[in-house]
Amino acid sequence: MALNNLHDVYHDQLQDLYSACKQSLEATTALGRAASDKELSEALIAGSNGIATGMDKLKSICATHDIDPEGEHCKGMEGLVTEAHAHVLDEEFGDDATRDAMIVTQYQRMVHYALAGYGCLVAFANRLDLDEDGAILQEQLDETYDGDRRMTEIATNGGINRKAA
């Protein structure tokens, strides 16, 4: 499909972010199972729930535009998921706290990709006067930022990084 205007870019990026969310959902669930810190595990479960909610909202937006949410495969998230597997799930660690610190690292990399995706989609929706889409996407962007900040809090003030050091 040729990308001829901002509508085309918007549709393409809706599909790309849906694919990214789908891939990160599986990885986030696996990271949650691998976490030993209870607060971290609970945050990853909440993150999985947030990703699933975001996918539902993206699917709904795609339906209003008559596009298949599964029309793209996000290679960027594919790489980040591969990294999460390589650096956490397929890696050996000397202790649980060190694994938990790496889990936070890999999760936040995936979250930052989603933040960029949602941020661009909000800007596109607003420019295209798609107010309802923009509001839904802004809500997901805000919730994604909240999850990212929570993860930083768990790592820094919750003690994961201190224990890993």
Q: What is the pLDDT at residue 1?
A: 65
How far is residue 25's CA from residue 52's CA, in Å, rounded to a whole number?
Answer: 7
Q: What is the pLDDT at residue 15?
A: 98
Q: Spell out, as residue ranges, where the chain has pLDDT lower than 50.
A: none
- Fold (CATH) for 6-164: Ferritin (1.20.1260)
Domain ranges of the chain: 6-164
Sequence-ordered list of residues with C-beta below 8 angstroms from that of 125, at least 6 positions apart, any chain:
10, 131, 133, 134, 137
How far is residue 76's CA from residue 96's CA, in Å, rounded to a whole number?
Answer: 28
Q: Could you tell me if 87 and 97 are in contact, meaning their C-beta atoms sit under 8 angstroms apart? A: no
Q: What is the pLDDT at residue 145?
A: 97
